Structure 1
Amino acid sequence: MNKTKITLEKDFVIANVDDRLFSSFIEHLGRAVYYGIYEPEHQEADEQGFRKDVISLVRELGVKMVRYPGGNFLSGYNWTDGIGPRENRPVRLDLAWRSIEPNQVGIDEFYDWAKKTNVEVMAAVNMGTGTPKAAGEMLEYCNFPGGTYWSDLRKKNGHSEPYGIKTWCIGNEMDGPWQICHLDAVDYGKKARETAKIMKWIDDKIELVVCGSATNLLSTFPEWDRVVLEHTYEHIDYLSLHRYYENLGNDINFLASFVDMNNFIKSVYSTVEYVKSLKRSTKSVYLSFDEWNVWYQQQQTRYDWVTAPPILEDQYSLLDALVFAGMGMTLVNNADKVKIACLAQLVNVIAPIFTKNGGPAIRQTIFYPFRDISMYGRGRVLQPVVVTPSIETCYGDAPVVYVSAVENIEGNISLFCLNIGKSPVHTIELNLRSFGKMEMIFWSVLKGKDLNVRNTFENPDQIKPILKQNIDGAFDTFKLDIEPLSWNVIRFKKSKQ
C-alpha cells in the first residue's frame, strides 16, 4: 500500500513549541570557535574578529540560543582563563580533545558574538575539575549588577551591564567514563545539588539543567537519571539527554533513527515523572535535549596537541539530511516534554555550517531541515492521526511516512512529511476539515537521485530544497503525491473564499 491518510484536528494539540527547541551549540573543539565563528584575519571579520558570513548563516537558521563553552571541553576548563586582556591569557592543554587552547575567546567575547547574532547564551559550568564555588563565581561575574569582586571585574573587562544569562548547564555528560573527573550518579547528584543551591542564591531568576544520560546506550541508563533527579529535583528545572546517530551499514535502520530517539525521550520523561511522584512534588521538570545530530564517531581523525585541529568535520550527505529531518520532527512531536534542544554543533564540528580557513562558508545538507523546522515549526504542535504502512527496522516498525504538524499564531498550518520509502509514488490524503477551507501556499522538497551527494566548496548548492507547484484553490481535503526518500514542507493558510 503506497498511501498515507493524515487527519488534523484543530483541538488535538500536543503543546506549544518553546522557541529554545531551535537552539545549537558551540564548544571549544576543533575549528568551531577558531576559524569557525572567530577568524580575525578573514576578509569577512568584524572589528572583534568574528566572521560576518557565519553570523549571517546562523541568523538564517533562526537559532534561538547557543550552549557554550562545552561539551567535554567544559570538564577541564577554568572559565577565568578566558577573561581579561588577551595578551595575559594562558595557553592551556585541552585534555578532552588533545588540543592547544589559546583562550582568545571567552565568555565576554562569546556574549558579544551572541548579541550580534541575535541568539541567547546557554552557559555551562564545570563539574569535572570545577567546584560549586567556581560555578557561583562565574554566574556572579555574568549576571550580578555590580559592587562585588566578580561583577566589578566584568565591568573592568569592558561590560558595564550584566549579561542576564537565563539558562545554565550544571556540567556535561558526567555519566560518561570519557569525561574528565567523571563521577557516579550519587556523587554527581550531590555536587550538582549544592551547585544549584549556590547559583540560585545568587540569581533566583535562572533556570538550571542537570546532566542526564549522555546516551541510551550506556549501561547506567536510565538509573543514572533517577538517582541524579532524586538528589536535585527540587533545585533544577531541566534534565539533559544527548543522542547521536550514524549509518552503520543499513540505510533503512539509519532512516528510522527517529523511532529510537522518540523512545529515548519517552523513557527519560517517564523517569522524570517517576521521581516527581516519589517526591510528592507539584513541580514539573522538563527535558533539555542539548546535544543531537548525525555524527560518524567511528570515522574520526586524531590530532595531538594542535590549535584548532580539523576534527569531527563530518561532510553530510542527502541521506544524512533525511535522517536529521526525522530527528528534528521528533523534537517537535515531543514539545510537551522537550523544551530545549541544541543541535550539536553549529560551525565546522558536526555542523550545518562549514567554513574554509580564509575562504567561504557553505550550508551543509542538514542546514536545510533545521532552517525549515525553525522557520515554520513555531506555534501549536498538532497531534495528527496517521494511517501509513510500516517498515521493519532494528528499532521496530517505522512508519513509511513520518509526520509533524504545527499551527502558527496566524492560523497557518505547516505539515512536515518525511518519506523513508522507496516506492516511486506515495499518495497522501490530507484531511483538514476541522479548519475549514484552506489554500496551499508553499511546498518544498529535499530529494535527489543519489543519497550520497554532499555540498562542497566547489559545488555548494548540489543539495538544497526545491519548490513544487502549489495546488490551486480552496479545499478541506488534499491529495498529494510525494516522492520516495524525500523531506517535504507543505504549508496552508485559511481561505477567504
Structure 2
Amino acid sequence: MEAQLTIDRHAAIGDTHDRLFGAFVEHLGRCVYGGIFEPGHPTADAKGFRQDVMALVRELAPTIMRYPGGNFVSGYNWEDGVGPVEQRPRRLDLAWMSTETNEFGTNEFIDWCRATGIEPMLAVNLGTRGADAARNLVEYCNHPGGTAWSDLRRAHGWEQPHAVKFWCLGNEVDGPWQMEHKTAQEYGRVATETAKMMKWVDPSLELAACGSAARNMPTFGAWEREVLQHCFEHVEFISLHTYLNNYAEDMQSFLASADLMDSFIEEVVSIADAVAAERRSSKRLMLSFDEWNVWYRTRGKREGRTVPGWPVAPKILEEVYTMGDALAFGGACISLLNHADRVKAACLAQLVNAIAPIMTETGGSAWRQTIFHPFAQMSNLGRGRVLRAQVTSPTYSASYYDPRGTQDHHFAMPEVPFLKSAVVHNAEEGFLTLFLLNRSLDQSLSVRADLRGLSLAGLERAEQLQDADLEAVNSASSPDRIAPTPLEGIEISAGRVCATLLPASWNVIRLRLD
C-alpha cells in the first residue's frame, strides 16, 4: 500500500501548548502510595518520593499534573491532607471503596511537582463541598500571608505560596457514579459561583469547567451548552474525558477509535463557539482533555474495580498494556497534536500503576509499560507548530463499540485511513517531526512526504514501535520487551521524504532543517 503527505510550512493548525503533554495523579489504588510516594523504598528520598519512579517520570516528560482526582476529589476534604501527618484523619473513600490515610496531601504533591519540574493542576471538590472550601484552598495555596489560611500554610512549613494557576472545577459531575452528581443547571450555577470566588482570591487563575464525562453520555452536547450558558464568562477551559477500548476484540476497529476522539474535540469546539456566538463574544474557550488513555480490561463494573474490606492503596485498575494498546494510544497522541489550536491542556490518566505508563512493585522495581513510549516521544519531540498535512491514504471500514457512560454505543466508521499522522515544525530548534501510525494489521505502508517551504538538512532520528505479537507486554522480568527500535531505509531528497512503515506500527521520523 502507498500513502502520501503534502506538508506546507504555511498551512498550520496551531502551536502546541506545554500543558498539552500532561498527566494525572489520583488517590486511586497504588498511584500515590507505592507509586510516586513510598517511604522506606530503597530509592526513596527524605520526603518518601521514589527516585526510580521520578527518573522514569522525567523520561516520560509530562508538563502538568492533575491532582487529587478524578472521582476521588468529589468526596475529598482538602483540609484532611495538610498539617502534621500524625494528626491527619483516616477516611473512607467512597470513590474506590478504600481507606485514605491522608499521609500524602496538597503540600506533598506540590513538593513532588517542584522536584520533577512539573506544573501542578489542582481540582476542587464540587461534589460534597462547594465554593467556600474551594476559595479557602486557593487562599491556602496562593496567598502570600497575613490571613488565616495562608498563615496556616506557612505554619505547616511552606513559607512561599504554591502559585498554582490551573484549576479544575470538579470532576465528571454529569456522571451518576459521582458523589453528589448534579444536573447541568445545578453544576453550572455552583461552577459559576466557585469560579467567581476563587478568582476574587487570585485573579490570575485559569479555570476549567466540567464537560461531559464521555461523548456517549445521554446529556452530551446539551450538558456543555447549559453549563457554559452559566459560566462562560468565568472560565477559560471546558474539559473532555475519553478512554479507548477493545471490548469487541476487533483490533482493526480498535486502532480506528482515536478518530472518534477527533470528532469529540470538534463537536465540543462547535458547542463552545456557539455559546460565544449567542453572546456576540470574541472569547474562545480552550479545551482541557484532562483524562484520556486506553482502558478496558479492568474497567468493568464497580465490584470488579474494588477490593472488599476498605484496604489502603489496593491493587486495582492495574491495566497491563499490550503492543496493540500502544498503537491505539499512539493514535490518541496524534489526535491531540492535530487539535493543538484548541486543546491547550491534556492529562494522560493516570501516571503510575493504575491505568498507567509506569508500573512498580511495592518495595521493588519500576518499569515502562508499552504506552510509555508513544507518550514520551510525543512530549519530547512534539513541541512546536503543528502543520495541516494533506493526507492521501487507502481506507478501511470499522465498527467501534463503546460502553463508556450510561449507555452503549456502536459507531460505524466507513472511511478510516490506514495512515494516521501528525506533523510538528519546531522552527526554533530547526526540526520537523512526523508521527506516523500504520493501522494495517498485515500490510506495509509506503509513505511519501512532499515538503513545501521547508529545506531539509538530513535525518536526525527515526524510530518504530512494532512487534509481530500484538499481545506482547512489558513486565518486571522483561521491562523492554516492547521498546522503540531504529526505523531503517529512510530516503531523503530535495523536498521529499520516503519511508516504509511495517504493519501495525507506530513511527517517529525527526528531520533536521536548514
Residue among 324, 332, 337 paired with 1:327: 332
- The reply to whether residue 352 of structure 1 matches residue 351 of structure 2 is no
Residue in 1 that maps onto 2:437: 418
Residue in 2 that maps onto 1:316: 321
Q: Partners of 1:438 and 1:84 in 2: how far apart?
A: 56
The residue correspondences of 1:336-347 to structure 2 (distance < 5 A) are 336-347=341-352
The residue correspondences of 1:61-76 to structure 2 (distance < 5 A) are 61-76=60-75
Q: Partners of 2:132 and 2:58 in 1: how far apart?
A: 35
Give the deviation of 1:429 after TM superposition. 1.3
Q: Partners of 1:284 and 1:41 in 2: how far apart?
A: 48
Q: Is the 8 A contact 1:441 1:470 kept in 2?
A: no
Residue in 1 that maps onto 2:307: 303
Give the deviation of 1:245 after TM superposition. 1.2
After superposition, the C-alpha distances for 1:254-274 in whole angstroms (9 at most, x for unaligned) are 110111110011111110001
Q: Partners of 1:470 and 1:485 in 2: how far apart?
A: 18
Residue in 2 that maps onto 1:258: 258
Residue among 367, 385, 388 paired with 2:390: 385
Residue in 1 that maps onto 2:408: none
Residue in 1 that maps onto 2:464: 445
Residue among 401, 406, 422 paired with 1:404: 422
Give the deviation of 1:284 after TM superposition. 1.5
Give the deviation of 1:117 after TM superposition. 0.9
3-state secondary structure, aligned to 2:300: helix
TM-score, normalised with respect to structure 2 = 0.95
Q: Is the 8 A contact 1:438 1:475 kept in 2?
A: no
Give the deviation of 1:275 after TM superposition. 0.4
Q: Partners of 2:466 and 2:444 in 1: how far apart?
A: 13
Give the deviation of 1:278 after TM superposition. 1.1
One-letter amino acid of the structure 2 residue matched with residue 53 of structure 1: D
Give the deviation of 1:432 after TM superposition. 1.4
The total of aligned residue pairs comes to 494
- The reply to whether residue 361 of structure 1 matches residue 360 of structure 2 is no
After superposition, the C-alpha distances for 1:316-341 in whole angstroms (9 at most, x for unaligned) are 00000000000011000001110000
Residue in 2 that maps onto 1:3: 2
One-letter amino acid of the structure 1 residue matched with residue 470 of structure 2: L
One-letter amino acid of the structure 2 residue matched with residue 78 of structure 1: N
The residue correspondences of 1:8-47 to structure 2 (distance < 5 A) are 8-47=7-46
Q: Partners of 1:178 and 1:207 in 2: how far apart?
A: 27
Give the deviation of 1:66 after TM superposition. 0.3
Q: Is the 8 A contact 1:438 1:474 kept in 2?
A: no
Percentage identity across paired residues of the two chains: 47
In terms of mean alpha carbon deviation, does 466-475 or 236-245 score higher? 466-475
The residue correspondences of 1:206-285 to structure 2 (distance < 5 A) are 206-248=205-247, 249-285=249-285
Misfit runs of 4+, over 6 Å: none
Q: Partners of 1:378 and 1:313 in 2: how far apart?
A: 30
Q: Is the 8 A contact 1:439 1:475 kept in 2?
A: no
After superposition, the C-alpha distances for 1:124-155 in whole angstroms (9 at most, x for unaligned) are 10000012011000000000000000000000
Q: Is the 8 A contact 2:491 2:498 kept in 1?
A: no
In terms of mean alpha carbon deviation, does 467-476 or 257-266 score higher? 467-476
TM-score, normalised with respect to structure 1 = 0.98
3-state secondary structure, aligned to 1:133: helix
Q: Partners of 1:437 and 1:179 in 2: how far apart?
A: 52
Q: Partners of 2:493 and 2:444 in 1: how far apart?
A: 24
Q: Is the 8 A contact 2:352 2:360 kept in 1?
A: yes
- The reply to whether residue 203 of structure 1 matches residue 202 of structure 2 is yes
Give the deviation of 1:468 after TM superposition. 2.5
Residue in 2 that maps onto 1:166: 165
Q: Is the 8 A contact 2:96 2:305 kept in 1?
A: no
3-state secondary structure, aligned to 1:243: strand
Q: Partners of 1:371 and 1:173 in 2: how far apart?
A: 27
Give the deviation of 1:469 after TM superposition. 3.3
Q: Is the 8 A contact 1:440 1:470 kept in 2?
A: no
Distance 1:363 1:221, change over 3 A: same
3-state secondary structure, aligned to 2:318: coil
Give the deviation of 1:184 after TM superposition. 0.3
Distance 1:301 1:242, change over 3 A: closer
After superposition, the C-alpha distances for 1:173-230 in whole angstroms (9 at most, x for unaligned) are 0000000000000000000000000000000001001100000111000110000000
3-state secondary structure, aligned to 1:289: strand
- The reply to whether residue 492 of structure 1 matches residue 497 of structure 2 is no
3-state secondary structure, aligned to 1:293: strand
Give the deviation of 1:156 after TM superposition. 0.1
One-letter amino acid of the structure 1 residue matched with residue 159 of structure 2: S
Give the deviation of 1:470 after TM superposition. 6.0
Residue in 2 that maps onto 1:182: 181
Q: Partners of 1:67 and 1:471 in 2: how far apart?
A: 39
Give the deviation of 1:471 after TM superposition. 3.9
Unaligned runs of 5+ in 1: none
In terms of mean alpha carbon deviation, does 277-286 or 372-381 score higher? 277-286
After superposition, the C-alpha distances for 1:82-137 in whole angstroms (9 at most, x for unaligned) are 01101100000001110000000010111001101110100010000012011000
